[in-house]
Amino acid sequence: MPSHDVLVIGAGLAGQRAALAAAEEGVSVGIISKVHPVRSHSNAAQGGINAALNPGDSWESHAFDTIKGSDYLGDQDAVEIMTREAPEEILHLEHLGVTFHRNEEGKLGTRAFGGASAARTYYVADITGQAIMHVLYEQLMKYSEQIARYEEWFCSSLAIDENGECCGVVTRNVADGSMELFQAKSVILCTGGNGQVWQPTTNALICTGDGIAMAYRVGAKLMDMEMIQYHPTTLAGKGFLITEGARGEGAHLLNAKGERFMEKYAPNKMELASRDVVSRAEQTEINEGRGFPDGTVALDITVVPKKRVHEALREIVLVGRDFAGVDITREPIHIKPGNHYTMGGVKTDVDGRTDIPGLYSAGETACVSVHGGNRLGANSLLDTLIFGKRSGRDAAARAKRTDYAHVSKKVLEDEEQMVADLMSREKGSGRRISEIKRELGQTMDGKVAVFRDEAGIQEALEIVKRLKEEAKSAYIDDHGSVFNQDLIAAIELGYMLDNAECTCVAALERKESRGAQYRTDYPERNDEEWLKHIDLERTDDGPEISYSEVTITQWEPQERTY
């Protein structure tokens, strides 16, 4: 049985950072990823990473912007930690070799971003996530003796010992189909978000909420699952992302009449208000007939000097050209709000610890919570790195003071049985996996999106429950061992349905409007009743609801305007 003191599941930024931090503590580390690490979705973070590093800026200012952005649902102790540790992390990345943009003096330069009161976003053109992730992967290659990489291994279940502590994971080598039980003293879930539950989404096909569902299934609490971010600038249909950096560089949002409509919604910050605010503004324009016939508004980047576009927004020049047939340097591009980010997730403390001893989580999978009801642009990379690092360190410390627990083979046998069951279903015995996935995505995008109401969410929940039943008889075509992507898609569908059910239940429960949760039937924020987190725990009858307090240190909730 392969054993590692610390086992990291997922190799995006959070996972790679966690693995490196754990290895620095001198423990043995394994990192498992269902795709090659550099294919991870952290790649897609274009705009940058926030830190109050400039003289004149302060972590308090960064923290306040984050908390205001979260619509006061973020836990302020966690936000303080993240914003205080941010500058050191940026410098650490720079020292490792990230090619951050420089100002004329050759020092780190910044750009403006949404919801921020200072230009504190550090960046590499508009490939910031990719540039950082590839540099971390360089470090993984460098420290290959301390960190074993399991590239293209898919995890299907966590192993829990008789004391209720996490002691390993069942995983399948995608290349040959062999299944293994890995033993560990600490397991860190860094599998990203669940964007694929919605269609369309900016998220990659791999973002199927694996870690969230795996933790939920073994009894870990989930938190803030109703908080799903819709990004203001995505391409209609395909859902491709146009970075907020475009607006950071000065691009305008226009309705079909050519009006800069953000004047009405956020007269001070205009296009750089929080994402929930901008997305609602756009959706209102579209719903009230001031959008284009294709259900979009326009993002006008032609106001940004061309030289600057080539230097700083290179990637979206290509996205516009290759995926929309638009030269963004010459004409506005049509965009709309689209599913983008999971603010909620596995409930953790500031060291990544979940309710289950030995089980950690970081990055988009986790909910610490630093993002609360709405994440600020360029805070996600920061979240992955700070809490990835902290989880890695704490997981290593735990590993040093504990021994390997006895791992029962039963969990492996159960998973082998699950796979055998899936393989044995007759072709045509039920629906195709892809059909169920499509219906799920369209349902969620239609009913649990920018604007929500009780009837819609309830309807979505019913559909999700039906789809869960249908998934039990859905069949796959591929019965082989080598790269059986069909089988993996079937398991992922199960993960997505659990995620969807939790989001519906939490969205139904929160009877107010806060951050990304906008209930047309409860349009006001209601601090008296709802300044609290919604926690969910699995039971055989579905998620059970409980509440936890929001930690407030020094910023009392105020009215939120931009």
Partner 1 sequence: MAEYTIKVRRFQPESGEGPYWEEFNVDLDPSLSVLDGLLQAKDRDDGSLAVRCSCRAAICGSCGMKINGQSGLGCKTQIGEAQELADKQASAAGTGSDGNSIVIEPMGNMPVIKDLITDMESTHWTKIRRVTPWLLPHGEAPEREYVVEPESMIDITQSMACIQCGACVSSCLSMEADPDFIGPAALAKAYRFVGDPRDAETSERLHDLAEDPHGIYDCTHCFSCIDACPKGVAPMDQIMRLRRKAGEEGIEDPNAGHAHEVAFVKVIEKKGLLDEALLVQESYAPGIKGKLKPSKRGLTETIKSLPTILRPLRKRKVKLRQAIPGLHHGLPKDSMNDVKSIYTHAEEHNEEFNLYIKGEEGELIDENVEKGIERSTDPDTAEAK
In the region spanning residues 184 to 213, those forming contacts with partner 1, defined by CB under 8 A, are: 204-206
| CB count in 10 Å sphere of residue 310 | 12
User: 3-state DSSP call for residue 164?
Assistant: coil
Q: Which is nearer to partner 1, 143 or 404 (CB)?
A: 143
Residue 397 three-state SS: helix
The DSSP line for 425-468 is SPTTSS-BHHHHHHHHHHHHHHHSSSSB-HHHHHHHHHHHHHHH
Place of tokens 């790195």: 385
Q: Of 247, 275, 393, 452, which residue is the catalytic one?
A: 275
- Selected binder of partner 1 within 163, 424, 473, 485 (CB under 8 A): 485
Q: Which stretch binds partner 1 (CB under 8 A): 102-110, 158-166, 401-409, 463-471?
A: 102-110
Looking only at residues 112 through 131 of this chain, which bind partner 1 when binding is defined by CB under 8 A? 124-125, 127, 130-131
How far apart are CB 534 and partner 1 at their closest, in Å?
31
Q: Which secondary structure element, helix H or strand E, spans residue 264, and what is its range?
A: helix 262-265
Q: CB of residue 548 vs partner 1: minimum separation in angstroms?
A: 34
Site for partner 1 (CB under 8 A): which residue of 264, 310, 400, 410?
310
CA-based max dimension of the chain: 67
- Choose one: 100-108, 112-120, 356-364, 498-506; the region binding partner 1 (CB under 8 A): 100-108
Number of C-beta neighbours around residue 421 at 10 A: 10
User: CB-wise, 46 or 70, nearer to partner 1?
Assistant: 46
Nearer to partner 1 by Cβ, of 231 and 514: the residue is: 231
| Pair 45, 381: CB distance under 8 Å | yes
Tell me if residue 102 is catalytic: no
Rounded to a whole number of angstroms, the minimum distance from the CB of residue 43 to partner 1 is 5
Query: How far apart, in Å, do the first and last CA atoms of the chain sit?
Result: 55
Residues 37-76 that bind partner 1 (CB under 8 A): 38-41, 43-44
Q: Is 107 helix (H, G, I), strand (E, B) or coil?
A: coil
CB of 518 to partner 1, least distance (A): 27
Contact 349, 370 (CB under 8 A): no
Q: Which stretch binds partner 1 (CB under 8 A): 103-111, 220-228, 254-262, 398-406?
A: 103-111
Q: Which residue has the tokens 């299907």?
A: 156
CA atoms within 13 A of residue 241's CA, in its CB half-sphere: 26
Within residues 317-356, the interface with partner 1 by CB under 8 A covers 317-319, 322-323, 325, 327, 329-330
Q: Containing H/E element for 62?
A: helix 59-69
Looking up tokens 């929309």 gives 324
Of 132-161, binders to partner 1 (CB under 8 A) are 134-135, 138-139, 141-142, 151
Stretch touching partner 1 by CB under 8 A, among 106-114, 182-190, 256-264, 343-351: 106-114
Residue 482 within binding range of partner 1, rule CB under 8 A: yes
418 to 457, contacts with partner 1 by CB under 8 A?
432-435
- Please count the CA atoms within 13 angstroms of the CA of 440 that sit on its side-chain side: 33
> How far is C-alpha 149 from the chain's CA centre?
22
Smallest distance, partner 1 to C-beta of residue 21, A: 17
- Is residue 409 near partner 1 by the rule CB under 8 A? no
Residue with tokens 């980047």: 301
User: For partner 1, which stretch binds (CB under 8 A), given 162-170, 213-221, 314-322, 454-462?
Assistant: 314-322
Tokens of 219: 């009894």
Q: Does 306 bind partner 1 (CB under 8 A)?
A: yes
Just list the catalytic residues: 275
